[in-house]
Amino acid sequence: MTDHPRIPLAGVLGHPVAHSRSPVLHGYWLRRYGLKGYYIPIDVAPADLGHVVRTLPQMGFVGVNITIPHKEAILEIADIVTDRAALIGAANTLIFRADGRIHADNTDGTGFIANLRQHAPHWAASDGPAAVLGAGGAARAVVAALLEAGAPEIRICNRTRPRAEVLRSDFGAKVVVDDWTQSSHMIQGCATVVNTTSLGMVGKPDLLVNLDYISPQTVVTDLVYTPLNTRFLAEAAAKGCTIVDGLGMLLHQAAPGFERWFGQRPEVDEATRQAVLSA
Ligand code: NAP
């Protein structure tokens, strides 16, 4: 037994996890606010996830982020799952409560909206239909968040169409599914266009969408943030659209966890972006 208060520990669980920017981000915030604590990457194989997560609180962990491939499986392990995490079907933030229960939340959607509000201040989800390219895990968080923020209609297309149909049946009649090959028509008249596919990421082919008919009033955003300025965003900017890169979503989705674990709401500002970009 000891009377010394424990230094709070947090981290990110993934497999692999070495690529994660979260340790740099949380480490920067810990230094910036002069807080005691550590945030580390933890590589956990899927078969070990339950055991590891249940052991972490005994080691002084106050919570963790969850990344690929554990975001869905963690819902089965958590004791409390927020409504939005249940609706999305995935969690990215765990809080280890003092009563021993594991609380799971998903902050990807709020991070997505906060990023748009910060970098396109005139934007509102209610401005018009939104087009979502892709129907993977990230798309589910984006669709949930756009609906909650007031988007009147969400048009989705995905290479594998049945995955988009699942989103329609899960999220209701405001969701409309189009063919992947119809993406350039689908975005016509949309106030918001979002790439949630991994196309455009370093090592992947570019996302190719004909933007000839896009209105310059459209706000175009990409969840990919390596590179920061994807070809898709560059082409949208050339059409006069407001563009928002994906790094801000990563930063904003991290803020609620940091606040819960370390007791300080962190600023998501240019200094934070630069700290992550320069690492
Ligand atoms: P995921 O569940 O694996 O989904 C991948 C999506 O990309 C699916 O819609 C998939 O279509 C599509 N895709 C992959 N390769 C394709 C190709 N060659 N042609 C057409 N479509 C293709 O992944 P996720 O978790 O949703 O993540 C998607 C992207 O968002 C990743 O780049 C990830 O890094 C990024 N992300 C960023 C943030 C952030 O904070 N900025 C947060 C979460 C995710 P199929 O269904 O047909 O395979």
| Distance from the first to the final alpha carbon of the chain | 39
What separation in Å is there between the alpha carbon of 134 and the centre of ligand 1?
Answer: 7
Contact call for residues 73 and 46 (beta carbons, < 8 A): yes
**239 is a catalytic site residue:** no
Q: How far is the CA of 53 from the centre of ligand 1 (A)?
A: 26
Output the pTM of the full model: 0.96
Query: Which residue lies with its CA nearest to atom 9 of ligand 1?
Result: 134
In the chain the domains, ranked by start, together with CATH numbers, are 9-106+249-277 (3.40.50.10860), 109-245 (3.40.50.720)
The residue contributing the CA closest to ligand 1 atom 14 is: 198
Nearest-CA residue for ligand 1 atom 34 is 224
Pocket of ligand 1 (CB under 6 A): 108, 134-139, 158-160, 163, 196-199, 201, 205, 223-225, 246, 249-250, 253
Catalytic residue of the set 71, 174, 204, 239: 71
Q: How many residues in total does the chain contain?
A: 279
pLDDT, tens digit only, all 279 positions of the chain: 445 678 999 999 999 999 999 999 999 999 999 999 999 999 999 999 999 999 999 999 999 999 999 999 999 999 999 999 999 999 999 999 999 999 999 999 999 999 999 999 999 999 999 999 999 999 999 999 999 999 999 999 999 999 999 999 999 999 999 999 999 999 999 999 999 999 999 999 999 999 998 999 999 999 999 999 999 999 999 999 999 999 999 999 999 999 999 999 999 999 999 999 998
